[in-house]
Amino acid sequence: MNPETLTTTTGCGVCGATTVRELYTAPDRLGNSATTFTIAECDGCGVLRTLPAMCQIELAAFYPDEYWGGTNEPGESWIRSSQSEKTLFLDKCGSRGGRILDVGCGAGFFLRALDPTRWDRFGVEIGKAASEQAARALGLDHVRAGTLVEAAFDDSCFDVVTLWSALEHTNEPRANLIEARRILKPGGTLIVQVPNAASYQARWFNGSWFSLDAPRHRYHFSATGLDRLLSQTGFETYRRTFLSRTHNSHALRQSLKARLRSPESSSFSRGLFYLAIPLIKPFDFAMTVLDEGATMTCAARAV
């Protein structure tokens, strides 16, 4: 059966098109709502969208207070360890210091893991509690509450801008990348990490894929779709990895759990889940080697 074509009330935040093809439905991953959401492919650019469209105020109701970091203050060793995958990727990009902005910084853990003698660290965060926690650690003048566009930084004022698991949350991915290009110095680096919507996990699990995270994730990118958008907004991708020891195998485990251990699952299905647990990490690593990893991290140069 061919996917149903729908007309949306809000244009695509990547290309502006208003027609989509419905692919499948997805529940609220956190179970805070009984609402079912539609995952659809934009007819204009092919990027996947979560529908219905919702404004920021409507979306806020789907975020628990601890989503971007709780009020408990972790130790420095935990911060460095938890952020090591990100800081290693930054080092591999050849960036050794300068002014850096983390968009959607949460409680500021990534920025706090960076050497303050090398990096002048700034963050922007829409969550009130998380932005306040980040500001306490980094300085009130180094963290701005709200969206990237609302932050209104000066032109060409950053050497690096990062969006770790942030771009997929916004209703305006193109506008955010245009703003990131405006505030980056020529030749500066943009780092974007998003779930890989072309991964084997996305294909296998569809609406029960853990990293889909409906309705909080508004747009879902493949490597092709993200590269095209980066190119259109003034960037050139120069490094990419699908490896994430932090996210990939965890997403596979949780996706299998949702599929095989649902309330209506049989005892056979539940048994399969427990048998699969020892195989999850090696299998996922093998798929990641084939560029099928569930997490995509790109570095792009401002051109």
Residue 217: band (very low, low, confident or very high) from pLDDT cuts 50, 70, 90: very high
pLDDT tens digits along 234-260: 999 999 999 999 999 999 999 999 999
Asked if 223 and 196 touch (Cβ cutoff 8 Å), the reply is yes
DSSP H/E element including 21 = strand 19-27
Q: What is the pTM of this model?
A: 0.95
Q: What is the pLDDT of residue 64?
A: 83
**Mean pLDDT of the chain, nearest integer:** 95
Sign of the four-CA dihedral 168, 121, 232, 92: negative
pLDDT tens digits along 96-146: 899 999 999 999 999 999 999 999 999 999 999 999 999 999 999 999 999
Report the phi/psi class of residue 65: left, alpha or beta, with left for phi > 0 and alpha for psi in -120 to 50: alpha
Would you state the structure tokens that stand for residue 19, as one six-digit string? 């027609």
Q: Is the predicted pLDDT of residue 66 greater than 80, yes or no?
A: no
Percent of the chain whose predicted confidence (pLDDT) is above 90 = 87
Average pLDDT over residues 183-188: 98
**Is residue 267 exposed (0-12), middle (13-18) or buried (19+ Cβ within 10 Å)?**
exposed
pLDDT tens digits along 129-142: 999 999 999 999 99
76-199+221-243+298-302 architecture in CATH? 3-Layer(aba) Sandwich (3.40)
User: In whole angstroms, what is the distance from residue 53 CA to residue 38 CA?
Assistant: 10
Q: Is the predicted pLDDT of residue 78 greater than 80, yes or no?
A: yes
Q: What is the pLDDT of residue 190?
A: 98
